[in-house]
A = this chain, B = another copy of it.
Amino acid sequence: MNEQDFLAGYDPRDYPAVAVTVDVVALTIREGALHLLLIRRAAPPYAGHWALPGGFVRPDEDLLAGARRELAEETGLGGERLGRVHLEQLGTYGDPDRDPRMRVVSIAHLAFAPDLPDPVADTDAADAIWLPVTALPNRQLAFDHARIIDDGLERARAKLEYTPLATRFLAPEFTVTELRAVYETVWGEPLHAGNFHRKVLSVPGFVESTGASTERGGARGGPRAKLYRPGTARLLHPALLRTLR
């Protein structure tokens, strides 16, 4: 029996309700460290615990639109800056016991954002912050959010390999060194500056030159760097593969 055959002679209100929510694993880079957007729960269950921003999907709202709305509400940001945030579906979490009160199926999303202002806590949240992922309070995370975050971080690391999405963590114009810093931060390992530089410029469509350079050299010396903007490629080939695994 497929879904529609089932629904044809079926009134959903006769059955236990299933709630559908969207959650967002929003990542950004602040001060050289990977940060995750978390809110602190005000009400039980898990009152006082950290949780992902998210909420109920509205009746006529697409899932991706719902995630974008939740992100906007939680960060207090408008359309312009939010437009540069990459958002994709991460996965759906529907374990029957993931919420103690009722069946909740949550479609988790993954966001890559440039450096954004501090979030403004929503009325129902006790707090909202960008937290370094190295300081995640794994034992104090609500529901199955620790696992969702793990999955999101691994997806983010993998995405940098074969997509140009690392640029979404940066301003519209950036240097190769800034791009390399994104990779080093997300992957958590140092990369060879020279090889990275040559590699990035050799992948078709990854970045394109603006013709301009930075106003000043590095903070501790060095020449001015050329500026680039994201290219037109949506996939990198050859990819930038992590070593080992």
Q: Which of B6, B13, B43, B237 contacts A56 (CB 8 A)?
A: B6
- Which A residues are within 8 Å of any B CB, using their own CB? 1-8, 10, 12-13, 15-21, 23, 39, 41-46, 51-57, 59-63, 73, 89, 91-92, 94-96, 99, 101-107, 122-125, 142-143, 235, 237, 245
Contact B63 A92 (CB under 8 A): yes
Q: Determine if B1 and A103 form an interchain contact, defined as CB atoms under 8 angstroms apart.
A: no
Q: In the complex the two chains form, what is the Cα distance from A23 to B54 in whole Å? A: 25
Contact between chains at A60 and B23 (CB < 8 Å):
no
A92 adjacent to B92 (CB under 8 Å): yes
Bound Cα distance from A46 to B5, whole angstroms: 10
**A12:B55 contact, CB within 8 angstroms:** no
User: Complex formed: what's the CA distance from A96 to B66 in Å?
Assistant: 11
Q: Which of B45, B92, B237 contacts A4 (CB 8 A)?
A: B45
Shortest Cβ gap from A181 to chain B (Å)? 26
Q: Are A125 and B5 also in contact (CB < 8 A) when A63-B94, A95-B62, A103-B59 are?
A: yes
Q: A59 — which chain B residues lie within 8 A by C-beta?
A: 15-16, 96, 103
Residue contact A96 to B62, C-beta cutoff 8 Å: yes
B-side contacts of A51, CB under 8 Å: 2, 4
